[in-house]
Structures are given as structure tokens and as C-alpha cells.
A and B are shown apart, each in its own frame.
Chain A
Amino acid sequence: MSQMPYHELKARERIRAIVDTGSFEEFIPPPERVMSTYLPKLGIPAAFDDGVAIGSALIRGQKVYLGAQTGQFVGGSVGEVHSAKLVGLLKAAARDKTPCVLLVESGGVRLHEGSSGEIGIAEAIRAVFACRSVGATTIAVIGSDIGAYGGMGILSACCDRRLMTEHGRLGISGPIVIEKWMGKEAYDSSDRALVWKTSGGKTRYILGDVDALVNDSTASVREGILSLLSKSAKPDLALAEARQASLQARLDRFGKVGHPDEIWAACGISDVAAATLDEAEEFVKSFTRKTP
């Protein structure tokens, strides 16, 4: 397997770099031209795959269903066809009790298709839980600069497991929206360091929202996915109650915190500046050492 920087790749390049050579079989591939009917009416070029590639593949011999969003196409946004492809994929995974890996790169619902994509994401969230209920592990891989926002942020949070790189961001409202809402003094969306520290992989990992934080290489992402494939997390009352307690504790402890650095320090990172520069896997090692 090559060691390409994951974040620089496009959807199908990511899939090819992660799965066993030649094993990807795409469903509704681009030549079928199942496309958005909305975008042309708005004067926007449509894509043959509506911005998402889906199919089945093997990762070290294990069958998975796999979807990869294309951030370059309308921000990876989720319209009617795009969402329906994800829903079909997740339903197939639940039917076949096969893990489903989503390479997420999306700002959320495609505004140009209005409520259609919104309902589509709601259906996809139902389908994620259908997978979880039968033990078909769902994994959101978030390693692109666009990250997982809006409805795709919510959907990613519903998956059994999340894998991130430092490039990935997980959130709902993006920094520009928040800056408009709260003012530049509260959130300067041009402050990239703050933006990534607010929603990026390292902070999400420290707080326990990410199961694997890996380096920005396709080999690391592949190994990370492999480590999570068998780790389904069936929703039950014990899991819900434990999560309720931990999320309440997080809110009580950090609800008034201003800068993410304060959370890092409170979580035992003594040299925040150095940890900021660490590669993801180095960061994970030293963080684990400090908080046994």
C-alpha cells in the first residue's frame, strides 16, 4: 500500500489506496449518470456520480461496504441522489451484516436541493442505526479539510466508530456561520489554528469522540479502519446511560472554557505548544502516557 497524504486525494483515489488492489466494485458508477436534476435548473454543472462513490471492497480480505464523498463537488454536499446512494449502501450493509465505512468529506445538506437532502440524511441516520442494531459496524473516516459538518457531522456522530486525522474536522455549524452569529471577537473564522483546534481531530480525540486518531497517510487510515472493523457498539441502555454521564460531566467541566488549549491542559497535556506540532500518532502515544 502506498503512503499518500490522505487529505490530498479525491474520493476514488482514497478508496483505491485503502482497499485491497482491484477489489472495489462500484454501485451506480459514473457511466450510469444517475445525477442531480436540481443543479442544472440552477445553472450549476451536475456530476455523473452526484459527488459520492459507493460500492463493496475488501480490506485485507474482509468485505466492507464503502462510500467516499467528493469535497470538490459542491462541498461534498448531500442532495437527493447523493443521500439515496448512502441510504442504499447502509441498508445493504445492515441486510448483509457487513461493516460500512464512510469516507466523509461534506459540509452537510446540499442547500440547492433544499429539504430533499435533509430528509435523505435523516433516512441515512435511520439506516446507520439499522446497521448498529445488527452488529454491522459503521465507521466514519474524517480526514479531509472540509471535514464532516451539518447533517454529515450528526450522521458521523451516530456511527459506531470514528476515525480522524489532524486534517479532519467534526462539527455542525462551520466557523463562518458562527462568526456571523457571534461576532469576529468570539470566533475569527480566518484563524485556522483556532478553527482546527476547536473541531479538529486532536481535540475530538482528547474528549473521547474519536476511536482512532491516525497520521495523514493512506496506510495509517487503512490500518486504523482495520482496527475498528470488528468493534460494533450496539445501542443499549447501559451505553446510553454511561454516555449521558460522560457528556454531562464534559459540559459541567468545560462549558465555560474559552480556548481549546485550556481543555488540552486540563486533560493532562503539559506542553500544549509541543503537542500541537506532534504528528497524530505521536500525539496519541504521549496523551495516553499522561492519562493512564
Chain B
Amino acid sequence: MTTPDLLDQFFGASASGLTITGKLVTGYATVDGLEVCVLGTVDGTYVNDAAALHLAAHAIDCVKTKPGIPIVMLVDSAGQEPNRTAEMLGLPVYFGHLLTCLEVARNAGHKLVTVATGKAIGGAFLCYGMFADAIYALETASVGLMPVEAMAAVTKIPVATLEELSKTLPALEFGAAPFALLGGVRDVWPVDGGLAKKLSAAIAGADAEDTRAQVGKQRGGRPQAFDVQKQVLAESLR
């Protein structure tokens, strides 16, 4: 799906209020009649320091000029850009700043909803999309830490071994559906023309409580995380 088609599915005619700068989308639009702030990446772009600042500036603008409206974050990014100058300038600090701006928005009453529309990989997903109150993915999205081939190259574990194991360990599988089993996304949406209604319902149902570990346990994809968190909370009360 092209970017204009995608924005049209979510925001209809109001998508004309969105600006695409490079491969970053920002602006204000409506979903099912509700005004929202939109920020995100398109076309699988890499996120760097300038991109993080651009998105952060829009989050700040939203808090200042549109109090309390929901913020919709779209993610189609292959990862953080591996670049020595960006590292020298402090890339984690730029990402941390973007997350801080989103937290400021959350504390000011803005709901945060993410839709992974394309690639939602590694640091590019961590630096804003995974910070939302409620996170969803299109069924066509490529969601996860990294594709199996890349994982094999770094860990020196053969692709075949990883693929075999991923049949029982969804954490090792790459894609929207296994990511949902881990609790990383609430739901996977088919691309069938009903996206605006789904997004509207997602905004209505978003709340700031992070339930991903619990959902990951219920769905069986992340069997240990929730219980370990609970155990620490209990032991720390002694």
C-alpha cells in the first residue's frame, strides 16, 4: 500500500492536513470525526537524530496547541541509522528526548496509540511506537527485533535452527502475529478498508496501564515475564 493510500484509509480527506517531510509524517487530522495528532515514519525509512527531533517538535507543538487530543503514531521504519556522527552526537539521548516529549504529552492527558504499518524493527520501534498506551499492527507489517536471517548472522546460529525453534517460540519469529502472542501488540488488523473505525475504537479503548506482560502470559508467547515482575514486586515489600 502506498503512503497516500494508507493515510487515506485512516484519515480520509483530512489526510490533506498531514505533511510528509523526507519520510516523516506529522500534522493533525481526524479519525471518524475525532481530531488527532499524527506523527510517524513512512516507507521503511531509518530513524536518526534529526528525525527524532522532528517528531519530538511535533509532540511538543501538540501539547501546546491542541491540549489533550489523542496522538496517533505510525511506524514504518527499518531501524535506527547506524552512523558514527549520530553516535558521536548522542543518538540515545535524541531518542530519549523523543520519549520524554511523549511522556510529557501522556501526563498532560493525551492518549498515545501506535499502529505499526510497515517495518517496525528494533530501535526504531522502541524510540517512540512501543511507548504508546495501546499498540496495534497491520497484518502486513514486519514487526520484531530483527528478521531471522539477521539474527542468524549475529548469533551464528543457523537460520534453519532458528526457524525450527520459532515454531514453538514466537519470540524468535518475525511478524505482527507472533509479536501479538508476546503481548507486544494488542491486535493485528487486516487491511480491509475498516481501518478508520478500528483506529477510532483503539483510541477510545486506550489507557496508560502497561499490560503487555500480562497479555504475553495469557497468549502464551512470553510465559515468564509477568510472573517474574510480580515476584519482584512482592519480594520488595518484605
Please tell me the number of chain A residues within 8 Å of chain B, measured between CB atoms: 87
Interface: A243 (CB within 8 A): yes
Tell me whether B144 and A115 are in contact (CB under 8 A).
yes
Interface: B184 (CB within 8 A): yes
Interface: A186 (CB within 8 A): yes
Interface residues of B, dominant DSSP: helix
Tell me whether B232 and A123 are in contact (CB under 8 A).
no
Q: How far, in whole Å, are A67 and B219 apart by their CA atoms in the complex? A: 29
Tell me whether B84 and A186 are in contact (CB under 8 A).
yes
Categorize the interface residue count of chain B: 35 or more
The 3 closest A-B pairs by CB, nearest first: A88-B232, A157-B96, A84-B228
Number of residue pairs A-B, CB distance < 8 angstroms: 261
Residues of A within 8 A of B236 (CB): 27, 56, 65, 88-89, 92, 96
Q: How far, in whole Å, are A112 and B161 apart by their CA atoms in the complex? A: 12
Interface: B165 (CB within 8 A): yes
Residues of B within 8 A of A256 (CB): 85
Tell me whether A115 and B165 are in contact (CB under 8 A).
no
Q: How far, in whole Å, are A264 and B90 apart by their CA atoms in the complex? A: 14
Interface: A198 (CB within 8 A): yes
A residues 102-133 with Cβ under 8 Å of B? 109, 111-123, 125-127, 129, 132-133
Tell me whether A237 and B100 are in contact (CB under 8 A).
no
Residue from the list B126, B165, B213 in contact with A84, Cβ < 8 A: B213
Q: List 29 A-B contacts (CB under 8 A).
A: A27-B236, A41-B169, A42-B161, A65-B236, A81-B228, A91-B232, A95-B233, A111-B145, A115-B174, A115-B184, A116-B221, A117-B145, A118-B125, A118-B145, A119-B184, A119-B225, A148-B92, A157-B93, A170-B90, A170-B92, A170-B93, A173-B82, A173-B87, A182-B82, A198-B87, A199-B87, A240-B100, A247-B97, A260-B88
Of the listed stretches B5-13, B17-25, B52-60, B193-201, chain A binds B52-60
